[in-house]
Amino acid sequence: MATIRIPTVLRPLAGGAPVLDSPARTLSGLRTDLSSRFPTLAARLYGPDGALQEYVNVFVDGEEARELASDAPIAPNAEVVLLPAVSGG
């Protein structure tokens, strides 16, 4: 199972959990999994076309998902980090 880290601002949409497990093996599988279990969270993360919303970042083992194809694999023990868009600088 991959581990999904949920930031504070999104935890109310994930039943309050800071960490979730997911059986997803691809990025599109992650979207399907979250949409079925946490539709409000999924709606905050993904637009109607399935693309990530502008102010959300998803990292899979440090790789930014926005740069990856939807069938990009998620390893069984991967760490998926959800973050609000980070400003910095």
Partner 1 sequence: MPRYSLRCRSCGATGVADDRHSCLECLGPLEVVYDDTLASGRELREEIESGPRSIWRYRSLLPVDRVDDPGHVGWTPLVRADRLGAALGLRQLYLKNDTVTPSFSFKDRVVAIAAAKAKEFGYDTIACASTGNLAGAVAAAAARLGLRAVVFVPAGIEPAKLAAPVVYGAQLVEVTGTYDDVNRLVAQVADERHWAFVNFTLRPYYTEGSKTLLFETAEQLGWRLPDAVVIPVASGALFVNTAKAARELVRTGLVADSPVRLLGAQPEGCGPVAAAYAGQHQRYTPVRRPATVAHSLAIGSPADGNAVLALARSSNGAVEAATDEEIVEAIRLVARTEGIFVEPAAGTTVACLGRLARAGAIDADATVVAYLTGNGFKTADVAVPAHTGTIRIPARLDAFLEAFEGAEKEAA
Q: Which of residues 10-69 bind partner 1 (CB under 8 A)?
A: 18, 44, 53-57, 59, 62, 64, 67
Residue nearer to partner 1 on the CB measure, 21 or 61: 61
Could you give the count of Cα atoms lying within 13 Å of 31 in the half-sphere of its Cβ?
21
Residue nearer to partner 1 on the CB measure, 77 or 86: 86
Return the structure tokens found at 89.
Answer: 């600088």
Could you give the count of Cα atoms lying within 13 Å of 3 in the half-sphere of its Cβ?
8
Coil, strand, or helix at residue 52? strand
- Which of these ranges, 23-31, 34-42, 69-77, 78-86, lies near partner 1 under the rule CB under 8 A? 78-86
Beta bridge partners of 26: 73
Which residues make up the interface to partner 1 (CB under 8 A)? Answer: 5, 7-9, 18, 44, 53-57, 59, 62, 64, 67, 81, 83-89
